[in-house]
Structure 1
Amino acid sequence: MRKVVVGALVGLVFAAVGGVALAYPSLAATTCPGCYGLTELSPGVHVEDGLTPAQRARAGEVADQAARRVTAFYGDRRSSPDLLVCLTEACYRRIGGGQERGVAVLNRSVMLSPRGLDPVIASHEMSHVELHARLASSAEVPQWFDEGLAVVVSGDPRYLAPESASESAPDRCLVAPSGPLPVTLEEWLRTASADPATYARSACRVSRWLGENGGRAALLGLVTRLNAGEPFSALVRTR
């Protein structure tokens, strides 16, 4: 009887694991990259199997550059997300990707599509993971701040002008924000998919707030106060 029970339990475990893999391949791929045709390039960096030496070198270069961007902004890193890199659309679909260039998965890993093998995209997604690694589970920021900050950290030229050495031209905004920005993830996905300029507006608002309040020190102070229980709305005043 004991063998039957154990066998039944093992069967249920495998069924559950299989169900997760089918329903959430991105989570399963993060847990077992090799199960999805990815090989380890370096600690924490997994790439599609069968790449050329040049493609492997490019993936490693992107990972290193993205990590340096995040470190340069924060001063150090509290997160170390696994990076899953696909150079074909078939690979990216297999690990659960869609039409996006890249995506952070449960603040544990970052998946990059063939269109996202770039330090800007990689550091954008890694910024999400780093921010949430610093925030307590009870602390919250609106989605526009999370996304706008990721644009600032990555220096994405699609949504934010380059930093200027001139004090007379400190504003990096390409599109000035007007009105409320999406607060929840659901609102963000709906709004940003209809209007990509939502990224630029959010980046502008975050960039201006940082510029007016001390840059990185302001962000680190904000995180500390959020973790102490103060609400975001009472701490961040935007125009």
Structure 2
Amino acid sequence: MWKVVVVALAGLVLAGVGGVALAYPSLAATTCPGCYGLTELSPGVHVEDGLSPAQRERVGEVADQAARRVTAFYGGRRSSPGLLVCLTEACYRRIGGGQERGVAVLNRSVMLSPRGLDPVIASHEMSHVELHARLASSAEVPQWFDEGLAVVVSGDPRYLAPESAPDRCLVAPSGPLPVTLEEWLRTASADPATYARSACQVSRWLGENGGRAGLLGLVTRLNAGEPFSALVRTR
């Protein structure tokens, strides 16, 4: 009888794992990269199998440059997200990717598409992971702040002027910015300038509040239970 119970439980576990893999391939891929045809390039970095030496070198360079950008901005890192990199669309679809260039998965891993093999895209996604590694589970920031900060950390020239500019804003905020992830996805997909507006808001806030010191102070107060709306005034 115990053998029957064990076999039944094992079947349920396997069915559950298979269900997760089918419904959430990105989650399954970050847990078992090798199951999706990815090989380890370096600790924490997995790449599509069959890449040329030049392609593997390029992935390593992007990973290093992105990590340095996040480290430089925060003055250190508390996160070490796994990096899954595909250089073909078929590979990216297989691990659960879509039309995006890159994506952070559950704030613990980053997936990059062939269009996202760039230090800007990689550091943008790694910024999301780093911010959430520093925030307590009870602390929340609106989605516009999370995304705007990622643009600032990555220095994305599509949405932000260089650091040498008197004002880095390319598009000034006008009206409320998306607060929830659902609102963000809906608004940003319809209007890509939402990234620029959010980056402008965050960049100006950092400039008025001591840059990195202001951000780290904000995180400390959020973790202590103070609400974001009472700490960050938008204009």
TM-score if structure 1 supplies the norm length?
Answer: 0.97
Where in structure 1 do 4 or more consecutive aligned residues deviate above 4 Å?
none
Structure 1 residue 178 corresponds to structure 2 residue 174: yes
Taking the aligned partners of 2:81 and 2:21, their CA distance within structure 1 comes to 20
User: Which residue, 154, 174, 184 being the options, matches 1:188?
Assistant: 184
Question: How far 1:169 sits from its partner (Å)?
Answer: 4.4
Taking the aligned partners of 1:74 and 1:168, their CA distance within structure 2 comes to 19
Q: Secondary structure at the match of 2:110?
A: strand
Taking the aligned partners of 2:204 and 2:59, their CA distance within structure 1 comes to 33
Taking the aligned partners of 2:59 and 2:7, their CA distance within structure 1 comes to 43
Q: Secondary structure at the match of 1:170?
A: coil
Question: How far 1:238 sits from its partner (Å)?
Answer: 2.1
Identity of aligned residues (%): 95
Offset from partner CA, 1:64-104 (integer Å, 9 cap, x none): 00000000000000000000000000000000000000000
Question: How far 1:168 sits from its partner (Å)?
Answer: 9.4
Taking the aligned partners of 1:43 and 1:170, their CA distance within structure 2 comes to 40
Question: How far 1:141 sits from its partner (Å)?
Answer: 0.2
Match of 2:103 in 1: 103
Taking the aligned partners of 1:182 and 1:45, their CA distance within structure 2 comes to 32
Aligned length: 235
Match of 1:161 in 2: 161
Q: Secondary structure at the match of 2:70?
A: helix
Offset from partner CA, 1:117-145 (integer Å, 9 cap, x none): 00000000000000000000000000000
Taking the aligned partners of 1:12 and 1:184, their CA distance within structure 2 comes to 35
Structure 1 residue 13 corresponds to structure 2 residue 13: yes
Offset from partner CA, 1:159-194 (integer Å, 9 cap, x none): 0001xxxx9942100000011000000000000000
Offset from partner CA, 1:179-222 (integer Å, 9 cap, x none): 10000000000000000000000000000000011000000000
User: Residues 96, 132 of structure 1: CA spacing in aligned structure 2 closer, same or farther, 3 A cutoff?
Assistant: same
Taking the aligned partners of 1:117 and 1:61, their CA distance within structure 2 comes to 10
User: Residues 4, 227 of structure 1: CA spacing in aligned structure 2 closer, same or farther, 3 A cutoff?
Assistant: same
Q: Secondary structure at the match of 1:111?
A: strand
Question: How far 1:2 sits from its partner (Å)?
Answer: 0.7
TM-score if structure 2 supplies the norm length?
Answer: 0.99
Taking the aligned partners of 2:43 and 2:165, their CA distance within structure 1 comes to 41
Q: Secondary structure at the match of 1:141?
A: coil
User: Residues 52, 191 of structure 1: CA spacing in aligned structure 2 closer, same or farther, 3 A cutoff?
Assistant: same
Match of 1:204 in 2: 200
Q: Secondary structure at the match of 1:79?
A: coil
Unaligned runs of 5+ in 1: none
User: Residues 47, 168 of structure 1: CA spacing in aligned structure 2 closer, same or farther, 3 A cutoff?
Assistant: closer
Match of 1:126 in 2: 126
